[in-house]
């Protein structure tokens, strides 16, 4: 019995080895067939493959060349052009006389130099062209040309901590001045939530709260005023915030 069991075990083991070798052979045969088909496909389509690789390489080289010989010089030229109208804008911000005249010079340019409007148009896609929209929007807002102010400010994009919310808030100011408080409220809230800092956030929350009070949206007003008190207690807007909270609470009830 012991001899029979031992022999049977050897037979089983031999069968198992044969099966494993057979399976392994099948796997390698399958891999060989797959590799062979892949090689045939590559040989058959090598022309297309080389063309595609050539297009990818050409695209990368073209992109690098564009950045070096077109985009970079254009950025530099735009930045140089922007310096001229900025001087008029800065003078207007610190002057008490002839403000509109200074802003107009900044917008339209003079002495053969571009103003913000032309820079935004001719150098669109550059950082300076984008920034020109910001200055143009604020200039038009100061001159009460609200339609143009909104148009330029909506084209401006930024990741800056203060410029981004200031642009959105300025759009809110423009809508408030043309008696569209619903739109103003939306932009004030967007400006407040765009960045979290102790200057722009409480400022636009305060404007949002007052606009919400005007629209009789007292819950929104209360939320805005309460947020100032809770999250920005050292801000200028927080000084008398309890008065506004009490007004909103009373109106809500």
| Contact in structure between 205 and 231 (CB atoms under 8 Å) | no
C-alpha–C-alpha distance, residues 253 and 250, integer Å: 5
* CB-count burial class (<10 Å; 0-12, 13-18, 19+) for 151: middle
Which residue segments constitute the domains of the chain, with CATH numbers given?
46-157 (no CATH), 158-253 (1.25.40.10)
Band (42; pLDDT cuts 50, 70, 90):
low
Residue 5 predicted with pLDDT over 60: no
195 Cβ contact partners less than 8 Å away, ≥ 6 residues apart: 161, 162, 164, 165, 201
- Predicted confidence at residue 78, as pLDDT, reads 80
Of 134, 173, 135, 129, residue with least CA distance to 154 = 134
- The per-residue b/e assignment along 185-204, b for 16 or more CB within 10 angstroms, e otherwise, is bbbbbbbbebbeeebbbbbb
C-alpha–C-alpha distance, residues 197 and 168, integer Å: 15
Residue 67 predicted with pLDDT over 70: no
Written as six digits, the tokens of 203 are: 């400022």
pLDDT digits (tens, 9 = 90+) for 106-126: 999 998 999 999 999 999 999
Residue 50 predicted with pLDDT over 90: no
Of the ranges 3-7, 22-26, 143-147, which is most confident?
143-147
Share of the chain above pLDDT 90, in %: 66
| Contact in structure between 119 and 138 (CB atoms under 8 Å) | no
Band (173; pLDDT cuts 50, 70, 90):
very high
Angle between helical axes of 200-214 and 163-177 (0-180°, round to 10)? 20
């Amino acid at each position: 019995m012991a001899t029979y069991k031992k022999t049977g075990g050897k037979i089983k083991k031999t069968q198992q080895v044969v099966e494993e070798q057979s399976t392994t052979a099948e796997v390698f045969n399958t891999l060989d067939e797959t590799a062979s088909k892949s090689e045939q496909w590559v040989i058959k389509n090598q022309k297309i493959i080389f063309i595609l690789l050539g297009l990818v390489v050409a695209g990368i080289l073209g992109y690098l060349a564009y950045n070096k010989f077109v985009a970079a010089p254009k950025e530099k030229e735009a930045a140089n052009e922007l310096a001229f109208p900025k001087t008029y804008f800065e003078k207007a911000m610190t002057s008490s006389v002839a403000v509109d005249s200074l802003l107009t010079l900044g917008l339209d340019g003079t002495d053969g130099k571009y103003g913000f409007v032309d820079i935004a148009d001719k150098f669109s896609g550059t950082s300076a062209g984008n920034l020109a929209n910001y200055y143009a929007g604020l200039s038009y807002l100061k001159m009460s040309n609200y339609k143009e102010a909104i148009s330029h400010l909506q084209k401006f994009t930024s990741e800056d901590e203060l410029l981004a919310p200031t642009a959105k808030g300025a759009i809110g100011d423009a809508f408030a001045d043309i008696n569209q408080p619903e739109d103003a409220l939306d932009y004030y809230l967007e400006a407040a939530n765009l960045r979290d800092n102790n200057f722009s956030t409480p400022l636009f929350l305060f404007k949002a709260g007052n606009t919400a009070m005007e629209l009789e949206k007292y819950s929104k007003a209360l939320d805005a005023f309460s947020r100032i008190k809770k999250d920005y207690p050292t801000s200028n807007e927080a000084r008398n915030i309890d008065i506004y909270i009490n007004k909103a609470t009373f109106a809500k009830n």
